[in-house]
Amino acid sequence: MVDLERRKMLAYHLRHLVIGRISNDEFEEEMQDNVSFGYLPEQYYSSKQAKLDDPIIRPMLELSWCLHIPGMLTPFRRC
């Protein structure tokens, strides 16, 4: 099943993480609230929802995890 709303939310928050508008913590919160049914991206694969979910959500969540910068609590901003 294709879930356009969750795809759009995932893309929106990924863009904001990549360009530095949100921090890792904010990204995790948004993913849990809007995309992954309360799971962190690295835990989502083991959820019951992942087995019956939109087929692109799980791989995108797994790939998004590599965009995290450990210890980054505030968004990166260029001057």
| pTM of the predicted structure, to 2 decimals | 0.75
Residues 6+ apart with CB under 8 A from 44: 36, 37, 50, 57, 58, 61, 62
**DSSP string of 4-25?**
HHHHHHHHHHHHHHHTTSS-HH
Mean pLDDT across the chain:
80
∠ CA(50), CA(56), CA(61), 5° rounding? Answer: 70
Are 17 and 27 in contact by the 8 Å Cβ rule? The answer is yes
Q: What are 67-78's pLDDT values in tens digits?
A: 766 565 555 554
Residue 12: its pLDDT value, please? Answer: 95
